[in-house]
């Protein structure tokens, strides 16, 4: 499953069809279920990466976690991590690592959502973008809700009703997003620990 609005919300755009260049996104959504291809697509993978890392070179990597690393990531995240393959998109700006983007496809209630979650070079969360969302759009929180994740690190307060405020009418989306952020930050940390060994 590994591969981030309307009006005043995150992507502020009108409904868009799945563009020809969105093959990667279609594959990601396919991992979340066959009905995912009917999801409302806000951004392609390429568009999301360009928003996160303008003018930078972005290269996908595939990391296979060991059983020990997967166990460590699950312990840190305190949420489900479905598999040992992780696919960070590492960005380099002016020759230096600027951060990494991860694409997380998961179910919100009964339908899939795909998020891009960006972790900066310092290990803090930089951005959360919705790429596709199949639930009713009324269940998408406002931009300000997503902004509360910016600058956060993985700790015990990065949970709903603790350091992350909930959203009336979008509780399941808020929970799914918070879980995805915890999952990505845990995986990013474990990958970094493995690289430094």
* Contact by Cβ (8 Å): 46, 52: no
The DSSP bridge partners found for residue 2 are 104
Q: Quick one: which of 95, 88, 147 has its CA closest to 123? A: 88
Q: Please give the C-alpha separations between residue 3 and each of 7, 58, 171, 181, in angstroms, as whole numbers.
A: 28, 15, 25, 14
Two tokens, residue 92:
């380099």
Distance CA 62, CA 141 (A): 31
Angle of helix 67-77 relative to helix 171-196, nearest 10 degrees, comes to 140
Distance CA 95, CA 134 (A): 38
Domain ranges of the chain: 23-196
Whole-structure pTM value: 0.80
The pLDDT tens digits along the chain (197 residues) read 333 322 233 443 332 233 333 434 444 444 444 444 456 999 999 999 999 999 999 999 999 999 999 999 999 999 999 999 999 999 999 999 999 999 999 999 999 999 999 999 999 999 999 999 999 999 999 999 999 999 999 999 999 989 999 998 899 999 999 999 999 999 999 999 866 55
Helices (H) and strands (E) in the chain, counts: 5, 8
* Contact by Cβ (8 Å): 101, 118: yes
Q: Radius of gyration (Cα) for the chain, nearest Å?
A: 16
């Amino acid at each position: 499953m590994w591969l981030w609005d309307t009006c005043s919300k995150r992507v502020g755009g009108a409904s868009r069809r799945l563009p020809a260049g969105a093959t990667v996104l279609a594959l990601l959504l396919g991992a979340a279920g066959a009905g995912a291809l009917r999801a409302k697509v806000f951004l392609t993978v390429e568009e999301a990466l360009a928003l996160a890392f303008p003018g930078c070179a972005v290269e996908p990597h595939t990391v296979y976690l060991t059983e020990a690393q997967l166990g460590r990531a699950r312990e840190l995240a305190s949420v489900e991590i479905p598999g040992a393959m992780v696919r960070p998109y590492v960005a380099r700006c002016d020759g230096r690592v600027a951060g990494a983007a991860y694409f997380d496809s998961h179910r919100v209630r009964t339908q899939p959502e795909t998020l891009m979650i960006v972790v900066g070079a310092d290990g803090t969360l930089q951005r959360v973008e919705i790429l596709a969302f199949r639930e009713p759009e009324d269940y998408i929180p406002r931009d300000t809700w997503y902004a509360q994740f910016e600058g956060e690190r993985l700790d015990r307060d990065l949970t709903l009703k603790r350091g992350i405020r909930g959203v009336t009418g979008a509780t399941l989306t808020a929970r799914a997003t918070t879980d995805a952020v915890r999952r990505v930050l845990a995986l990013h940390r474990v990958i970094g620990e493995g690289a430094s060994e």
